[in-house]
Amino acid sequence: MIYTERSAQGARLLAKINLRAFTVLIVDQDDAHRWMMHNLLAALGVGEVLTANSNDDALTLLKRLSKKSVKERIDSVDFMICDLFEGPLNGIAMVRWIRMHRESPNRFLPVILMAKALEPQDIAEARGFGATHFLLKPVTVEALVDRVLTVVNRPRPFVYNPGYFGPDRRGNVKDVPEERRDLGRPDVRVDRSPLTTALERFPNDSVIRIFRPPNHLKRKAGGDGDEHALFTEGAVFKAHKEMEKAKCEYVGSAMDYVESLQRIMAQAGGAADKSEHFQRIHGLARQLGLQGETFGYPLISTVGNSLMRFTGSGLPNNVASIELVKVHIDSLTVILRNDMAGDGGETGRELVSQLQAAIRKITQAAATG
């Protein structure tokens, strides 16, 4: 059976998608979520999944690709999924660089932005610089499948004018009412040349252009004509199994983080200067804060983010700082050993309340001591 997308055509069987020749770049600061995305795409058949833990690292990779021939650049990365808010170079700045910079290997590269929350102003700003699509984190199999199929089967035309270059923000021009289309305007040129030609002759003038190149990704995926290429149920099933596996393994990997925190604290106990230890704790707390909600343990995110805030502000080398870190580690240990998924109910609320009370007691004692 073929996994079909919702359409007016109903549930008829369509062409099987083949992504073995595809290369996808995933950029995600959350280690566990990035690895999960890697495995989901591999399960869906993507031949090569490149990963980067920051947009800066991804930018370095893209700059290297810009040294290749135009054809090689187009085939080096077929689409990209990156964090919207990861800094110092966030996803919007990344999209802007890809669309406008002379070193960009492919100004037509589809870019999907991910975020835990997508506010209307963020979406509007990202689209204003040429973002292709969006994904909410944690990513679901259904949402990922939908975005991949949309990128492959229904690419939007690209618009060039003096103030913008990127996907047509009206969506598929075929769906735009006739009176709103600009394809017949004398001041608009329609360019249907292949991507290689469009990149080699990229404009630098004030003439408005609409680029409608042949669907390079669909041909690469084995699609032909107007028929959409879709996933088999087997591929989607494998992706769901990978998702389940990631969630099952999360508690063990989170406990590894906690044990690392305990080891660092043991080392910090005898150190005169604990700043390096607190920096290492900050990095681990940041990952716990990012990952908990992704895998159904929001209490882990709550405690991890709290620990990250304290260690990120530069804790002094005193007993109070040690106690602050330890009460966070103790809370994380209780959550994981008792498998407190979700909000933990009454027990979870009580745990958070006790942590907050302990933090107040420690900080107040330190302030008056």
Q: Which two tokens stand for residue 173?
A: 């021009």
First to last CA, the chain: 70
Which domain does 264 fall in, by range? Answer: 246-368
Same domain, 147 and 250: no
Asked if the model's pLDDT at residue 369 lies above 80, the reply is no
Tell me the per-residue pLDDT of 216-271, one tens digit each, with 9 for 90 and over. Answer: 999 999 876 677 888 989 999 999 999 999 988 999 999 999 999 999 999 998 88
- Percent of the chain whose pLDDT exceeds 90: 68
Residue with tokens 């591929």: 235
pLDDT at 173 exceeding the cut of 70: no
Residues 318, 319, 324, 326: what is their CA dihedral angle, to the nearest 10 degrees? 130
Whether 11 maps to a domain, the answer reads no
Last residue of a domain, one of 187, 222, 257: 222
**φ, ψ dihedrals at 77, nearest 5°:** -135, 125
Per-residue model confidence (pLDDT) at position 171: 58
Last-in-domain residue among 190, 222, 254: 222
Cβ neighbours of residue 243 closer than 8 Å, sequence gap 6 or more: 36, 40, 140, 141
Query: In this model, does residue 14 exceed pLDDT 60?
Result: no
Within-domain flag for 233: no
Number of domains composing the chain: 2
Q: Give residue 174's pLDDT.
A: 53
192 located within any domain: no
Q: Residue 253 sits in a domain of what CATH number?
A: 1.20.120
- pLDDT single digits (tens) 176-210: 444 445 555 667 899 999 999 999 989 888 889 99
Residue 186 belongs to some domain of the structure: no
Measured CA to CA, the distance from residue 325 to residue 335 in angstroms comes to 16
Q: Is residue 124 part of a domain?
A: yes
In CATH, what number is assigned to the domain containing residue 93?
A: 3.40.50.2300
State whether 258 and 144 are in the same domain: no
Give the strands of the sheet with 2-3, arranged side by side: 2-3, 229-232, 15-16
Classify strands 79-83 and 23-27 as parallel, antiparallel or unpaired: parallel
What is residue 271's predicted lDDT score, i.e. its pLDDT? 87
Predicted confidence at residue 225, as pLDDT, reads 67
Q: Is residue 24 part of a domain?
A: yes
The answer to whether position 258 is within a domain reads: yes
172: in domain:
no
Q: Is the pLDDT of residue 165 over 80?
A: yes
Q: Which of 19-28, 84-93, 180-189 has the highest mean pLDDT?
A: 19-28
Q: Name the domain boundary from 172, 207, 222.
A: 222
Residue 78: the pLDDT is: 97
